[in-house]
Amino acid sequence: MDKYIKTAVLTAREKINGGIIYLLPGIFIHILTLISLTFLWRVVMVDGTQVGMNLEQMLTYTYMSALLADMLVVNTPAGGWLAEGILQTLYGRPMSIFGQLAAQTIGGWLPGLLLFSLPMALISPLLGINLVPASPFFLISLLLCISLGFAVDFLFACLSIKLRNMSWMIGRIRTAVLALFSGVVIPIKFLPFGLAQAMQYQPFASLGGSVLSIMVGSANVADVLTLQIIWNMILWPLALLAFRKSQEGMVSYGG
């Protein structure tokens, strides 16, 4: 594991090569956005209105969504295979492609976790936010979410390889689909017209929204974990198969 750990560390260092001061504007914007959202929910739900969650649960849901944003919807460097030549570079190293992508992705999370997520978690009691998980299975759900997130990201990367002239559009579609159907931005329970019941079984719902629902105690833990395991078992073989076939496309394009 040493080579993957070193890869993650190097990626983290790359993020702060220009100095921490260059990260501060982005962190400041995240903080302002998060605090604004917490006050917004306090105003919207001030009359005690509940739509599947009470005010305390909604505040925790929103807060944790911001703190764990990178983990809840995984975004690896694989999407930049064409513009940045990421995958071709990885083939030149004696390491697993998936392992390298995972290490680089996790390394990219570290600066944000240390400079934003950890400080905001420490001051959460001052904002009246309870970050104690409602279930001890929260961590298991988070790990399953991260695993599924990698599979989903690899599938979108393979799609962009297949449609290389439209890779930019695939990236935008991916962002929109995951934002809407993962439940990270808008909880699945809030979807109107009876969509909530139907949408909870699609694979994207097993990403961030499921984890956050377990965190705040608004979901059946057994059902959520079962769906996450099932979608991992379905999508990982598809991702591996699709990636194997996509290699031919990358080689022919490079040639």
Q: Which of 132, 161, 133 is nearest to 243 (CA)?
A: 161
Q: DSSP assignment, residue 187? A: -
Burial class (CB in 10 A: 0-12, 13-18, 19+), 28: exposed
End-to-end CA separation in angstroms for the chain: 33
Residue with tokens 């705040």: 216
Tokens of 119: 């400080």
d(CA 3, CA 91): 15
CA angle, 84 then 238 then 83, to 5°? 10
Please count the residues of the chain. Answer: 255
Q: Would you state the pLDDT for residue 85?
A: 63
CA angle, 246 then 96 then 157, to 5°? 35
Tokens of 109: 């999370």
d(CA 78, CA 156): 9
pTM score of the predicted model:
0.89
Tell me, rounded to whole angstroms, the distance of Cα 227 from its chain centroid: 17
- Proportion of the chain in helix, strand, coil states, percent, rounded to 5: 75, 0, 25
Whether 184 and 208 have beta carbons less than 8 Å apart is answered as: yes
Q: Which of 80, 104, 100 is nearest to 91 (CA)?
A: 100
Tens of pLDDT along the chain (255 residues) come to 788 888 888 888 888 877 778 888 888 999 998 888 888 888 877 665 556 788 888 899 999 999 999 999 998 887 765 555 666 677 777 778 888 888 989 999 999 999 999 999 999 998 889 999 999 999 999 999 999 999 999 898 888 877 776 767 877 888 888 888 888 887 887 777 777 777 888 899 899 889 999 999 888 899 999 999 999 999 999 999 988 887 766 654 544
d(CA 234, CA 119): 37
